[in-house]
Amino acid sequence: MPYDAILLDMDGLMIDTEQLCAQAWRDAASELGTRIGEDTLHQLVGLSHQHCLRHLQQHPELSTHMPALAQLNRQYYHQQLQHGDIPLKPGITALLDWLRQQAIPRAVGTATEGQLAQLKLQRSGLAPYFQHVVSASDVANSKPAPDIYLAAAARLQVAPQRCIVLEDSVHGASAALAANMRVIIVPDIVQPPASMAKQALAVCEDLFAARELLQQMRGA
């Protein structure tokens, strides 16, 4: 079925920040004399900061450190975002250029908080590609709930079933499917389970492959 709009996740899909976020959690835990396992870090991919805190709170070895852990994580992460490099994911510029040339409506749907999302888009140079950015600050429930993507579709005035979502995480893909949208998964840190892959329109190895699929569907 044709599509009328493309909705894109941000972290891990367009910009390579999931690794930066994971390292900020590692550094914060290390400063407090504890550690966060890699499996636990993988489970945080695609979640809002508040959802991450709730998830970490369930681990007894971390729960007593939570206020300080949260504060240190924000400190390390914001320092990197404000002063360090924010690398783009390969193929994102070519994809966004093609979407703009084809005049295909597009919006960002991110579990990141509003001000931080705008900072990332501005510093990465991607902000001019989008008229609409829906963040965790704009909805009652963040991913994996469908609210973010439903709000993005509403701002574009496009029916959910006419939207295709590009996502890297399982939580994000779940949000897209719950919104009755088709999803193309471009995995970053974590590969989707087989059950999720079957529900996706496609699982692409990179954004170049995702762009080719979208072009084929468009007949362009």
Altogether, the residues listed in the chain come to a count of 220
Dist. CA 81–CA 84, nearest whole Å: 6
Catalytic residue among 4, 11, 39, 168: 11
138 carries an active-site annotation: no
| Backbone dihedral region for residue 125 (phi beyond 0: left; psi -120 to 50: alpha; all else: beta) | left
Q: Confirm if 133 and 106 have CB atoms less than 8 A apart.
A: no
* Beta-sheet strand order (sheet of 182-185): 132-134, 106-109, 5-8, 163-167, 182-185, 202-203
* Residue 11 a catalytic site member: yes
> What positions carry a catalytic annotation?
9, 11
